[in-house]
Chains A and B, each alone.
Chain A
Amino acid sequence: MSKNNWEDSARSSVSSSESKSDEQKLIESAQNGNKTAFGKLIRMHQKRLFRFVYGLVNSFDMTEDLVQETFVKAFEKIKTFKTGYAFYPWIATIARNSAFNLIQREEKKESLDKLTEVGFNPQTVELGALDKLLDDENKKRLYKAISALPVKYRTVFIMRNFEKMDYAEIASYLKIPPGTVDSRLHRARQMLLNAVKDLL
């Protein structure tokens, strides 16, 4: 139920350079096996998807892999996609599932102090390969601030801020109470506010 709500809201917030009917035509064509049409869909949505996935996994290489994996999966399952719906929420769901599987695996490897807010210091964060995709110093600061967030705050913030999911949806997806979503989001915002106060 909550997922549907999220999909509805995401559907309405789809921002694509082409109109929906164009997207629908591309989807239908891709469903008939047209790789060129699917290539256009990739170009329409990959930037937004990349930003979302990077926000979750906080690694350029992993994001590249996950985005590629997402589109490959989407093409394999394109026939099951219901025409008439927006394409982005669907691939975002695929990407999110893959990203969280990865995060759960990575969390187990990381030491506990990385999962807490102790040591939140955006200035020490290295963006690595992402640096070349950020043409502005302020943008780099914003990404550094996001990257510096502990994973439990970062995921909640990204899902809310980038994908406009509501608390209930985030809660059901992360299997945490809505109240915890509220407190984590509140804390994430406080930390980001402190990090980029001069940009406001």
Chain B
Amino acid sequence: MEHQFFKDRLSAYFDNELKNEEHAIVQQHIEGCNECQVELKQLEKIENLFSNKTELSGNDYWETSAQKIESALEPSPKAEIVEIVKPKSKGLWWKLTGVAASLALVALFTLEEKKQHDDFIPDTISNEVQDIYAPTPQAITIDSFKQETVEVTTAPVENEIESDDENETVTNNETIQAPQKPTVESQPTPQPVQKTKKRIVLNSASKEQTPTPAKEKLRFEEFENGGVQTSNGNIDALVKSEEQDADISIRGGRSSAVELSDADSIVNALSEKVQQSKDRKSARAKSSSLVPDSEENYHNVLTTPQESISQKGITKNSELNYWRRKVTENKERLKLYSKKSVQYLKPIRKDASKKKNKSAALDIGFTYKQIFEGYYHVALLTNDSLEEKQAIGYLTKYADSLTENYSSNALYYLQLYKTKKTEIESRENK
């Protein structure tokens, strides 16, 4: 009876599937039992026999079989990748309209005193840059921050005249809050603004995967003004926020304006800047059509022949500058996400139902794409293999980050890039 007990466990013992104690007991029995030892050897032989002596032969058959399977394969997955997911801009224009309308109402009451600040744009443009692109953010001084703030507080009215300027002033105002905080002693309402901004940065990803015309345009406008690194958040803030958010921004600016005593010097400084900003506006008007203001237009810009760009008066350097700035901005944006958020990228593929994960992942994926776009253009312009590697690296990250749709898009962009590069190379060879 006892022997049968151990015999029944021989198979599991042979497979090393018994628990430690049981294994030891069975082993002890086997050492003293010839019958079990013989059976164990037979198990081993059976195992080897069926593992090693059951390989199939017949080479011709396998080749035919492989060819048969190959012919049954679907066409290359690449062939399916044609469609680009269009940006979902539904409802954004309504929000923008709402913000603009509320600001316009405020503007009616303060219009008269604003005329002199009409075209205010921070004075950070170097004289060398004559075209569309803005100076580096480092060129912005604390003074200019203060002046901008004053501008916001006193002249939100511009919107009625030119909506672009409205956007600039509001976004600048909001972004300025962070750097100004340590220098200004008593800022009455810094916290609400800060909170609003944080919330918006998070939400911005969840609702939108691709740039909308409005967002992209605003981003560019801000870029022109030497906007700060976290520009996307600011743009998102403008786009996403309701009238209430806009009011908070303006109130924030007004309160900091109280800190400034020398109003005359500010007025003088502003008047000097008016002419410069007008010059820049005219340059911008020429080139605005080249700025990708939506996913669709982005596609068009990608495929725009180089000649047409040069015809519109944009120099290669300024274009390079723009795309490099885009890379830098978005790399900074990536830093906004904690490591935890980046880790969300993995679970998102398995469990897309978690909204929090999804929004973080979407935004990170989108940012990867933005960086890719930057490197993409830089690589095309400079023909630098390192830049190309970077572009492809970020493209891969973008493709990996999300669903198959995005991967398809990424592959599509890669294809487009290769085609474009070949075109350029063949043109250069000629």
Contacts from A to B (Cβ < 8 Å): 32-35, 38-39, 42-43, 46-47, 50-51, 64, 67-68, 71-72, 75-76, 78-80, 132-136, 138-139, 142-143, 146, 157, 160-162, 166-167, 178, 182-183, 185-186, 189, 192-193, 196, 199-200
Q: Tell me which of B47-55, B144-152, B222-230, B314-322 binds A.
A: B47-55
Q: Are B56 and A68 in contact (CB under 8 A)?
A: no
CB distance from A173 to the nearest CB of B (A): 15
Q: Are B73 and A75 in contact (CB under 8 A)?
A: yes
Chain A residue with the shortest CB-CB distance to B73: A75
Number of interface residues of B (CB under 8 A): 39
CB distance from A45 to the nearest CB of B (A): 10
CA distance in complex: A142, B47 (Å): 12
Chain B residue with the shortest CB-CB distance to A68: B69
CB distance from B68 to the nearest CB of A (A): 7
Chain B residue with the shortest CB-CB distance to A36: B70
Q: Tell me which of B10-18, B172-180, B245-253, B364-372 binds A.
A: B10-18
Residues on the A chain within 8 Å of B31, using CB: none
B35 within 8 A of A: no
CA distance in complex: A38, B74 (Å): 12
Contacts beyond the supplied A64-B65, A167-B12: 4 A-B pairs with Cβ under 8 Å: A68-B68, A139-B54, A146-B54, A189-B11
CA distance in complex: A14, B308 (Å): 55
B386 within 8 A of A: no
Residues on the B chain within 8 Å of A75, using CB: 73-74
Residues on the A chain within 8 Å of B108, using CB: none
Q: Are A68 and B8 in contact (CB under 8 A)?
A: no
CA distance in complex: A43, B407 (Å): 28
Q: Which of B3-49 contact A (CB under 8 A)?
A: 8-12, 15, 17, 42-43, 45-47, 49
Q: Tell me which of B76-84, B112-120, B204-212 binds A.
A: B76-84
CA distance in complex: A71, B72 (Å): 9
CB distance from B42 to the nearest CB of A (A): 6
Q: Are A142 and B76 in contact (CB under 8 A)?
A: no
Chain A residue with the shortest CB-CB distance to B56: A133
Q: Are B72 and A142 in contact (CB under 8 A)?
A: no
A146/B50 contact (C-beta < 8 A), A42-B69, A67-B69, A76-B74 known: yes
B182 within 8 A of A: no
Which residue in B55, B70, B76, B407 is a CB contact (below 8 Å) of A42? B70
A135/B404 contact (C-beta < 8 A), A39-B70, A67-B69, A193-B46 known: no
Residues on the B chain within 8 Å of A33, using CB: 76-79
CB distance from A109 to the nearest CB of B (A): 26
Q: Are B58 and A46 in contact (CB under 8 A)?
A: no
Q: Are B46 and A32 in contact (CB under 8 A)?
A: no
Q: Are B49 and A196 in contact (CB under 8 A)?
A: yes
B142 within 8 A of A: no
Chain A residue with the shortest CB-CB distance to B81: A33
CA distance in complex: A178, B66 (Å): 37
CA distance in complex: A185, B11 (Å): 7
B62 within 8 A of A: yes
Q: Are B72 and A139 in contact (CB under 8 A)?
A: no
CA distance in complex: A71, B77 (Å): 14
Of the A-B pairs whose beta carbons lie under 8 Å apart in the complex, a sample of 30, sorted by A's number, is A33-B77, A33-B79, A35-B70, A38-B70, A39-B70, A47-B62, A50-B56, A68-B65, A68-B68, A72-B69, A78-B77, A139-B53, A139-B54, A142-B49, A142-B53, A142-B54, A160-B15, A161-B47, A161-B50, A162-B54, A182-B12, A182-B17, A185-B11, A185-B15, A186-B11, A189-B43, A193-B46, A196-B46, A199-B49, A200-B45
CA distance in complex: A51, B54 (Å): 8
Chain B residue with the shortest CB-CB distance to A34: B76
Residues on the A chain within 8 Å of B51, using CB: 161-162
CB distance from A65 to the nearest CB of B (A): 10
A79/B404 contact (C-beta < 8 A), A50-B56, A72-B72, A138-B53 known: yes
A134/B11 contact (C-beta < 8 A), A32-B78, A200-B42 known: no
Chain B residue with the shortest CB-CB distance to A162: B51
Q: Are B55 and A46 in contact (CB under 8 A)?
A: no
Q: What are the 3 closest A-B residue pairs judged by CB atoms, nearest first?
A: A33-B76, A33-B78, A186-B11
B126 within 8 A of A: no
CA distance in complex: A71, B67 (Å): 12
A47/B42 contact (C-beta < 8 A), A35-B73, A72-B72, A142-B50 known: no
Residues on the A chain within 8 Å of B54, using CB: 51, 139, 142-143, 146, 162
Residues on the A chain within 8 Å of B8, using CB: 183, 186
Q: Are A79 and B407 in contact (CB under 8 A)?
A: yes
Chain A residue with the shortest CB-CB distance to B399: A79
Residues on the B chain within 8 Å of A189, using CB: 11, 43, 46
CB distance from B424 to the nearest CB of A (A): 22
Q: Are B69 and A133 in contact (CB under 8 A)?
A: no
Residues on the A chain within 8 Å of B353, using CB: none
B183 within 8 A of A: no
B61 within 8 A of A: yes
B57 within 8 A of A: yes
CA distance in complex: A50, B65 (Å): 11
